[in-house]
Amino acid sequence: MNIPLLALLGFAVWTLLILTITVGVYRWRRILTGRSSIAEWQADVPQGSEWYRRAMRAHMNCVENLPVYTAIVVAVIATASHGVMLDRLAMTILAARMAQTLVHITLPPTNSAAALRFTLYSVQVACMLTMAGLVASASAIGPPHAHMI
């Protein structure tokens, strides 16, 4: 398995873990202790503690960006592109995504926390754009077997 694909798998697993260990645990703990009913939880209504709402938003950030990174990895695979630069960018995306999520969940919403989250998101965007550019330029050069980036 190549590194961008492995990072995609990591991104997907991270998204599921965040859903399970934050949103899932919070809801089920409240349901099982009788503080909430299962029918109370609605996606379009602000509910729960501030921490829970941040966890929901952090999970949605993962969900929103996962398809974008998936499209880039599909392009990497379709063009048989590979190389150290793509690998480093892919791992940076995953690390920055995980850090952004943890900052979102663990730090209260301050200007400093928001700036840190935005910086980590910007790193991801820059890496994804760079990966897309590398794949596009490599695919314009020649046959797929020659796409070492």
- Indicate the pTM of the whole model: 0.89
Cβ 131 vs Cβ 72: under 8 Å: yes
CATH placement of domain 3-146: 1.20.120.550
Q: What is the DSSP string of 93-127?
A: HHHHHHHHHHHHHHS-S-HHHHHHHHHHHHHHHHH
59-100 pLDDT, tens per residue?
A: 999 999 999 999 999 999 999 999 999 999 999 999 999 999
Cβ 76 vs Cβ 6: under 8 Å: no
Give pLDDT, residue 117: 97
Cβ atoms within 10 Å of 97's Cβ, excluding its own: 25
User: Residue 79: which of 128, 22, 148 has the closest Cα?
Assistant: 148
Average pLDDT for the chain: 92
Three-state secondary-structure class, residue 59: helix
12-34 pLDDT, tens per residue?
A: 999 999 999 999 999 899 999 99
* Angle at 105 (CA atoms; ends 15, 32), nearest 5 degrees: 80
* 141 pLDDT more than 70: no
Query: Which secondary-structure segment (H or E) carries 129?
Result: helix 111-141
Domain residue extents for the chain? 3-146
The answer for 51, left when phi > 0, alpha when psi is -120 to 50, beta otherwise, is: alpha
Q: Which residue has the tokens 């990591």?
A: 10
For the chain, give the number of residues.
149
Beta strands per DSSP E along the chain: none
Cα 62 to Cα 14: distance, rounded to the nearest angstrom? 8
Which is more confident, 93 or 143?
93
